């Protein structure tokens, strides 16, 4: 969790590209070229998601409704899938929506480390050449993406949890 994405990217290049010679370390000649950058971006989010899901599942499995389901004779797997998991996924989905901005911001560094052409590299070039309209467009584009992802997560959460009411009506 404490490892920054650029250090994770460098370690992934060292392990899978230099030592094991399994994956390409730069460029995108094939689909395998996207594996290391994707993993470098997703690793921190994956670790935090796993921690939160574990804590939420432990809390849900210890709750009264899970104990009641067990007393009714349901198997542990059925209690987990039917009762605990849907309730545990609500905060996890909310957290994943908030991590969208972190992943988009971390893409600049990971694209640079893996020498990938992308929107992060475009932003760095805009900074280097002082192309302020392009930089403003980049910020506006990422802001729009973040708003859309947040809206989609809110709609999914409202669908998952009937206690969430859309519209703020009284």
At 22-47, the pLDDT tens digits run 988 877 778 888 889 988 888 888 88
- pLDDT (0 to 100) of residue 44: 80
- pLDDT (0 to 100) of residue 162: 80
- pLDDT (0 to 100) of residue 170: 57
Report whether pLDDT(106) > 80: no
pLDDT tens digits for range 107-132: 888 888 888 888 888 998 999 999 99
- CB atoms under 10 Å from CB of 72, counted, come to 8
- pLDDT (0 to 100) of residue 56: 96
pLDDT band at 166 (very low <50, low <70, confident <90, very high): confident
Residue scoring higher pLDDT (59 or 98): 59
pLDDT band at 85 (very low <50, low <70, confident <90, very high): very high
DSSP state of 34: G
pLDDT tens digits for range 42-81: 888 888 999 999 999 999 999 999 999 999 999 999 999 9
Residue scoring higher pLDDT (92 or 6): 92
Both structure tokens of 165: 């009411």
User: Please, which residues have CB within 8 angstroms of residue 118's CB and are 6 or more apart in sequence?
Assistant: 107, 111
């Amino acid at each position: 969790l404490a490892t920054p994405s650029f250090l994770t990217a460098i370690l992934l290049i060292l392990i899978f590209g230099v030592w094991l010679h399994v994956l390409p370390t730069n460029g995108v000649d094939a689909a395998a070229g996207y594996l290391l950058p994707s993993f470098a971006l997703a690793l921190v989010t994956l670790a935090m998601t796993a921690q939160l899901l574990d804590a939420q599942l432990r809390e849900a499995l210890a709750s009264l409704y899970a104990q009641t389901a067990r007393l009714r004779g349901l198997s542990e797997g059925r209690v987990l899938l039917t009762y605990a998991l849907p309730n545990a996924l609500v905060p996890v989905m909310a957290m994943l929506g908030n991590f969208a901005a972190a992943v988009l911001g971390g893409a600049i560094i990971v694209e640079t480390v893996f020498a990938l052409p992308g929107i992060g590299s475009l932003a760095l070039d805009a900074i280097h050449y002082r192309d302020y309209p392009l930089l403003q467009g980049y910020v506006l584009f990422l802001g729009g993406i973040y708003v859309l992802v947040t809206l989609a997560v809110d709609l999914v959460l409202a669908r998952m949890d009937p206690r969430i009411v859309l519209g703020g009506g009284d």
